[in-house]
Amino acid sequence: MIAKNEKDKKPIGTREWYDFVGLLADILPAIHPGGPDATRALLEMCGPDATSRVLDVGCGSGNTACTIADDYGSHVYGIDISEVMIAKAQERARRQGLSGKLEFRVADVFDLPFEDDWFDVVVLESVLTPLPGDKKQALKEIVRVVRSGGKVGANEGTVDPGAPPEIMVLLEAHPAFQGHFTPEKLRDLFERSGLEVVEMREAREIDIPQATKGIGLGGLLKFMVQAYPKLVLRLIRDHRIREAQKIDNEITKISKEHMGYALIVGQKPMKK
């Protein structure tokens, strides 16, 4: 067991950070740049339909997975490393009456609990950026579970090549950023992981969705009663979360000028 003061010195990890962010899930319309509009564009680029099996990797609280099941009628699987996120996703699916079309489970992108060539489409939104470890290895694991001719679509934040060094310092200090992408780096990663890039769209603005937008008074009250006290307690108890939150706010300010995002779709080549 790690003694309390030793744990305090250990930097906060990706999973711990997203367990914290998961408490905000009910008031966040998305945890990726471009918000629900970018999701709709990415899905249009991937083209799932009612016969598709779709996987949402790093599905967070299940917003996108529910949208796919509802709008396209696909059978959707969502995986995430955070138990808090998966619990929120299951709750969302139940609330929206979509449980029959969705399966959520805690899993690691590096070791997906699915057979080879199982999915028609895999989406991942803002998962490669926070991912510690070898991102190419993670994408290769995703390619393994997609059928030949199937699509892998991603939305990742991108940093302008000429961005000031301060933004790099902030990105490196934040638990949710493990490296950064430029559009070129993202394309290169897709190609090195065995995908043929079929479409890429770039946005020059990061356009982070505003918390609480569209949740209504009932949603806000529920959040204040259920999640807010837990959030405050976590912030009071863990100075690492307070520090990460501070960096997060700084990045949000600076990102308006120097960050954008890219939507990219790659296809798994047909077997020869």
Residues within the interface to ligand SAM (CB under 6 A):
14, 18, 30-32, 58-60, 63, 79-82, 85, 108-109, 125-127, 130-131
Q: Kindly state the smallest distance separating residue 262's Cβ from ligand SAM, in Å.
A: 14
Question: Torsions phi, psi of 57, nearest 5?
Answer: -85, 130
> Among residues 84 and 163, whose Cβ is nearest to ligand SAM?
84
> Among residues 82 and 267, whose Cβ is nearest to ligand SAM?
82
Q: Kindly state the smallest distance separating residue 168's Cβ from ligand SAM, in Å.
A: 19
> Among residues 56 and 120, whose Cβ is nearest to ligand SAM?
56
Q: Kindly state the smallest distance separating residue 270's Cβ from ligand SAM, in Å.
A: 28
Q: How far is 243 from 193, CA to CA, in rounded Å?
A: 35
Q: Kindly state the smallest distance separating residue 77's Cβ from ligand SAM, in Å.
A: 12
SS3 state at 119: strand
Q: How far is 135 from 154, CA to CA, in rounded Å?
A: 13
> Among residues 35 and 150, whose Cβ is nearest to ligand SAM?
35
- Look at residues 156, 252, 157, 213 and name the one whose alpha carbon lies nearest to residue 28: 213
> Among residues 108 and 250, whose Cβ is nearest to ligand SAM?
108
DSSP for 180-200, written as a single string: -B-HHHHHHHHHHTT-EEEEE
> Among residues 59 and 189, whose Cβ is nearest to ligand SAM?
59
> Among residues 74 and 126, whose Cβ is nearest to ligand SAM?
126
Q: In the chain, which ranges are continuous DSSP H helix? A: 4-9, 14-22, 35-46, 63-72, 83-95, 135-145, 165-173, 183-192, 216-226, 228-237, 239-258
Q: Kindly state the smallest distance separating residue 150's Cβ from ligand SAM, in Å.
A: 19
Judge whether 113 and 107 are in contact, CB under 8 Å: yes
- Return the structure tokens found at 42: 């990415």
Q: Kindly state the smallest distance separating residue 272's Cβ from ligand SAM, in Å.
A: 31
Judge whether 27 and 92 are in contact, CB under 8 Å: no
DSSP state of 100: G
Q: Kindly state the smallest distance separating residue 74's Cβ from ligand SAM, in Å.
A: 17
